[in-house]
Structure 1
């Protein structure tokens, strides 16, 4: 049952992505042949207003087939005959829809569970630097290195910017002010001391916190991609990557731990898909955006449709090959 839920969620994220493309292309008057969720053999299809709406067997993607997208077309409403601004909007809309979905889901999530904005500790991990320094649940952090702390963001920032340097932490416990020294440790490229703040249920704070979480998570993802591309990451990175099978397993596991964890994970996966599609890699939306920007700089002089089609085709083959490889690794990991 959990696997079915995971597949449905993955399909929903793809649906939102393709819906973004579809809506803005339709709005621009582009002729659309097919709006498909999934790849491979058709499970269900229905034609309406000269557009085929289909559901396919493999939940590993989806597409909006538009006239003149990858080849020249005589259709006066083909994609390639529309103004650059309309084409850019249609391509941008897919990734942006995923990023917006992440923000919307996180807003609802933080409205229910609250936001970790207070400087009062809810949990102190055993054997962590904070635990060893004597901090306990209920302690209220007053200052770090004589700098006043009024919320968790300020506390987190002080810890992150410490670069592992010992910090002088002043806190309030049972109306008594005490001081201790804590040396942060590095974990996943970030300095931590092993604390969890008390959540504050405030719908007004939930929306801006969802926005900042979306922004900070996007920043972390892009930094990871940059380090991956530039070879700054150590260890076997391939084993830490997950394809569709791996993602379905992760979502399936999250489904067993409650609806809220499922909502949070869905938001993060949607954000990941949105950002990945903005990368300038052939066959991804980012590549099409790059081509359109080059066309704009060349004052409307287009790259030949056949050339662009060949590049996208090669990119698609490379991506599918990589996807098959990662899926193979996922299956081995699950079996193991």
Structure 2
């Protein structure tokens, strides 16, 4: 039964995240009057396909992504459109109706194309926020960052600066949006001490060397002892929305710093997870309940949004760099250059996906 629930949950999570991302591109393209020739969820052979209002809607075999085929988006088509000398783009021209007779991608202005490319990630962020809002509303109380009391006989953090009633603003110079942010920053410390910035009696106070005790685990490793507790905030519409915004910021920053850690070498590629690893995480979440599944879905959709905005060849973020440059300079980067860089990026990303997938499979069987 758990296996069936895992499959259902994985399909729903992957399918929803991909559908929302591609729906963002699709709706933005239609809003800008760009003709969408195909809207597909998945890659490979089509399992289901239907044409409506000039657009083919497809569900394909491999549910590892999706795509929108925009008229004139491919380099060859763009060159052909340029050869036919289409009329110059006028930013004051009204948007065309979302019909089969819409303009091509190449005919749209650079900022409209920018909007179309960015809309996928924006929809992922919107989905992430909605899920986080549901999770926050389902809690008994909204967690604050105000210290309620300390635990233990001689709490080290109290002895070295913290006081009950302090609102934690930052740890080691990093702003903390939630109590989980505080824990995240403390986990990244290496000597069980950290600098805190707190709000105390209406004043910002800096505590340069707050220390914590450590304990030795059964496997011989050591971990920090978190010796204080924080207040819960009564749920109201305002506190729930405010809490959801703070949790969204927390998720986003943790994910972004994870990518920074990867590029700077703080963490290795062996800590990445691909589709197999994500399905394994979904399986674990299913055993704990729907809240854990939704929490994982929020992480995945925000992760996908941030990942797609990274300025890496083959990703939406790289296209946005070219479009921003074109919008500012009114000079388009040669199509062949864009195509070559994006193709090289896609090859590298596919190689990385294969390597991470093999790594996930090896972890599963070993």
Classify the TM-score, shorter chain. Answer: 0.7 to 0.9
**Bigger Cα displacement from structure 2, 92-101 vs 197-206:** 197-206
CA distance in 2, matches of 1:309, 1:205: 47
Is 2:132 aligned against 1:106? yes
CA distance in 1, matches of 2:312, 2:70: 20
Q: 2:114 aligns with which of 74, 88, 96?
A: 88
**Bigger Cα displacement from structure 2, 73-82 vs 318-327:** 73-82
CA contact (8 A) 2:38 2:58 kept: yes
Report the CA distance shift for 1:289/1:192 in structure 2 as closer, same or farther (over 3 A): farther
Q: Which residue of 1 aligns with 2:226?
A: 193
1:1-336 to 2 correspondences below 5 Å: 1=4, 2-71=6-75, 72=78, 73-74=80-81, 77-113=103-139, 114-117=141-144, 119=146, 130-131=151-152, 133=154, 145=161, 149=165, 164-165=192-193, 183-184=211-212, 193=226, 197=230, 199-203=232-236, 204-231=238-265, 233=266, 237-299=268-330, 301-336=331-366
Compute the displacement of 1:144 (Å): 8.1
CA distance in 2, matches of 1:166, 1:219: 19
Structure 1, unpaired ranges of 5+? 125-129, 136-140, 169-180
CA distance in 2, matches of 1:108, 1:158: 22
Report the CA distance shift for 1:79/1:150 in structure 2 as closer, same or farther (over 3 A): same
CA contact (8 A) 2:147 2:164 kept: no
CA distance in 1, matches of 2:244, 2:214: 25
CA distance in 2, matches of 1:186, 1:11: 43
3-state secondary structure, aligned to 1:117: strand
Deviation sequence 1:10-69 (CA, Å, 0-9, x none): 111011011111101011011111111111121111111111111111111111111122
**Bigger Cα displacement from structure 2, 281-290 vs 302-311:** 302-311
Structure 2, unpaired ranges of 5+? 87-101, 172-178, 197-208, 216-222
CA distance in 1, matches of 2:71, 2:182: 54
Deviation sequence 1:155-190 (CA, Å, 0-9, x none): 95888589844899xxxxxxxxxxxx9833699xx9
Task: Please tell me the root mean square deviation across aligned C-alpha atoms, in Å.
Answer: 3.4
3-state secondary structure, aligned to 1:116: strand
CA contact (8 A) 2:128 2:298 kept: yes
Deviation sequence 1:203-236 (CA, Å, 0-9, x none): 42121111112112222222222232122x15xx
CA contact (8 A) 2:21 2:120 kept: yes
3-state secondary structure, aligned to 2:48: strand
Report the CA distance shift for 1:185/1:207 in structure 2 as closer, same or farther (over 3 A): farther
Deviation sequence 1:100-154 (CA, Å, 0-9, x none): 11111111101111321274769x9xxxxx546369xxxxx99983666265768
CA distance in 1, matches of 2:164, 2:229: 19
3-state secondary structure, aligned to 1:26: helix
TM-score normalized by the length of structure 2 = 0.74
Compute the displacement of 1:326 (Å): 0.6
3-state secondary structure, aligned to 1:280: coil
Report the CA distance shift for 1:104/1:192 in structure 2 as closer, same or farther (over 3 A): farther
CA contact (8 A) 1:18 1:64 kept: yes
**Bigger Cα displacement from structure 2, 158-167 vs 6-15:** 158-167
Paired residues, number = 307
TM-score normalized by the length of structure 1 = 0.80
